[in-house]
C-alpha cells in the first residue's frame, strides 16, 4: 500500500479482503454446478439464487466494517468518534452500484457462458469465461459496498474533512496516478472493475498539512522495475524512470487519444493551447473549442523507442511536455 499505512489501515484492509475472497470462493463453488447442458436449466436458477445471496452477504459485511474503521482511525489520531447519525449497513446490500438487481449481474455472466457455447468454444473454456465475468461482478460489488459505506460513515463524523486515496500494489497506472490525492466528501470514488484502491479518512488538520510521502512518484519508486513495467508498459515505465511526469505519461493514453501514423505512436492529449500545444507551436483551429498544435506529439513510450541515448530521451521528453 502507499505509505504511510497505519496498523488500523492494514487490519481493516485484511478484513475487507477476507470478505471479498470468501464471496469469490462461494460464487466459484456455486458456478461449478453448471455444465454445458445445464446452462439453460434449473441449475442456472439455483446458481443465480446462491450467488445473489453471496453478494448480499458480502455487501452487508463490508458495510458493517465502515463505522468501526472510522472510529478506530479517529482514535488512532487522538480524536473522538461522534457521528451525527448511525449507519444502516443493511441498506448497502441488495443492489449493484449502478442500481441494477444483483440477479441481473449473474444473468450477464450466464449469457456470456451461453454465447461462448453457441460460438463453438470448448465447454471448459466457455465455463471459465463465464466464471471470470461472474467473479468480476462479485468482487467489485463487495468492494464497492464497503467503499460507499465508509464514505457515508465518514460524512457523519464532524472531525473529518474528506478522504485520501490509498493504492494497493499491484495496481494499474491510472490508479497509481491518483495515489494520495485528497477528495472532499462531495466527490465520488473513481474506480474500475476489480479495483483494489481504498479511501483513508482525513481530519481537517491533516487536510491542511503537506503530505509529500503519499504521492504517485513515491509509489512508483517503491515498485520493482517489473512491477513498473506491468503497470505502465515497458516504454512508459522507462520514460517515467528517466524523469517523465507520471500524470502526463498516463493521460497521454486516455481513451481515443492515441493514434498510429507511419508506424509511430502519437497522442492528441495536451496538444491544445490549454495543454502543451502553445509550446509545440503551429496552432490552428481543427474543429474543437481550442486551437490545437499541428505538430504530432509522440507518446512517452514512442520517445523511448526512438531516442538514441538517455540524454536525447530526456531532451525529447522535455520538448513534448513529459518533463517539467
Q: What are the pLDDT tens digits along the chain (324 aa)? A: 344 468 888 899 999 999 999 999 999 999 998 876 556 688 899 999 999 999 999 999 999 999 999 999 999 988 889 999 999 999 999 999 888 999 999 999 999 999 999 999 999 999 999 999 999 999 999 999 999 999 999 999 999 988 888 888 888 888 898 888 888 877 778 888 888 888 888 888 888 775 555 789 988 998 999 999 999 999 999 999 999 999 999 999 988 899 999 899 999 998 998 888 889 988 888 777 789 898 999 999 999 999 988 899 999 999 999 997
pTM of the model: 0.79
Q: Tell me, what DSSP letter sits at residue 95?
A: B
Separation CA 97–CA 93 (nearest Å) = 10
Give the span between the Cα atoms of 9 and 69, in whole angstroms.
Answer: 8
- Contact in structure between 304 and 313 (CB atoms under 8 Å): yes
Which residues have a Cβ under 8 Å from the Cβ of 262 and sit 6 or more positions away?
none
Torsion (CA) 227, 232, 235, 236 in degrees, nearest 10: -120
Which single residue is written with the C-alpha cell 513534448? 320
Amino acid at each position: 500500500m502507499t505509505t504511510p499505512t497505519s496498523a488500523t489501515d492494514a487490519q481493516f484492509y485484511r478484513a475487507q479482503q477476507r470478505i471479498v475472497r470468501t464471496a469469490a470462493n462461494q460464487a466459484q463453488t456455486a458456478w461449478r454446478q453448471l455444465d454445458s447442458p445445464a446452462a439453460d436449466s434449473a441449475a442456472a436458477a439455483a446458481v443465480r439464487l446462491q450467488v445473489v445471496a453471496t453478494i448480499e452477504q458480502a455487501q452487508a459485511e463490508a458495510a458493517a466494517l465502515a463505522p468501526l474503521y472510522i472510529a478506530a482511525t479517529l482514535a488512532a489520531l487522538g480524536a473522538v468518534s461522534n457521528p451525527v447519525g448511525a449507519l444502516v449497513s443493511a441498506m448497502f446490500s441488495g443492489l449493484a452500484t449502478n442500481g441494477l438487481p444483483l440477479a441481473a449481474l449473474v444473468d450477464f455472466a450466464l449469457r456470456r457462458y451461453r454465447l461462448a457455447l453457441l460460438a463453438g468454444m470448448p465447454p471448459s473454456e466457455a465455463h471459465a469465461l463465464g466464471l471470470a465475468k461472474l467473479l468480476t461482478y462479485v468482487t467489485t460489488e463487495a468492494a464497492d459496498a464497503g467503499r460507499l459505506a465508509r464514505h457515508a460513515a465518514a460524512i457523519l463524523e464532524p472531525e473529518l474533512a474528506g478522504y485520501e486515496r490509498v493504492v494497493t500494489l499491484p495496481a494499474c497506472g491510472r490508479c497509481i496516478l491518483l495515489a494520495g490525492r485528497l477528495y472532499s466528501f462531495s466527490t465520488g470514488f473513481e474506480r474500475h472493475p476489480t479495483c483494489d484502491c481504498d479511501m483513508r479518512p482525513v481530519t481537517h488538520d491533516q487536510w491542511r498539512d503537506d503530505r509529500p510521502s503519499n504521492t504517485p512518484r513515491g509509489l512508483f519508486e517503491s515498485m520493482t522495475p517489473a512491477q513498473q513495467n506491468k503497470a505502465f508498459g515497458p516504454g512508459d515505465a522507462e520514460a517515467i524512470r528517466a524523469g517523465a511526469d507520471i500524470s502526463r505519461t498516463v493521460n497521454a493514453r486516455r481513451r481515443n487519444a492515441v493514434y498510429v501514423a507511419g508506424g509511430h505512436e502519437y497522442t492528441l492529449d495536451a496538444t491544445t493551447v490549454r495543454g502543451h500545444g502553445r509550446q509545440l507551436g503551429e496552432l490552428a483551429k481543427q474543429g474543437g473549442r481550442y486551437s490545437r498544435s499541428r505538430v504530432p506529439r509522440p507518446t512517452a513510450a514512442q520517445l523511448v523507442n526512438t531516442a538514441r541515448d538517455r540524454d536525447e530521451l530526456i531532451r525529447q521528453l522535455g520538448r513534448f511536455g513529459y518533463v517539467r
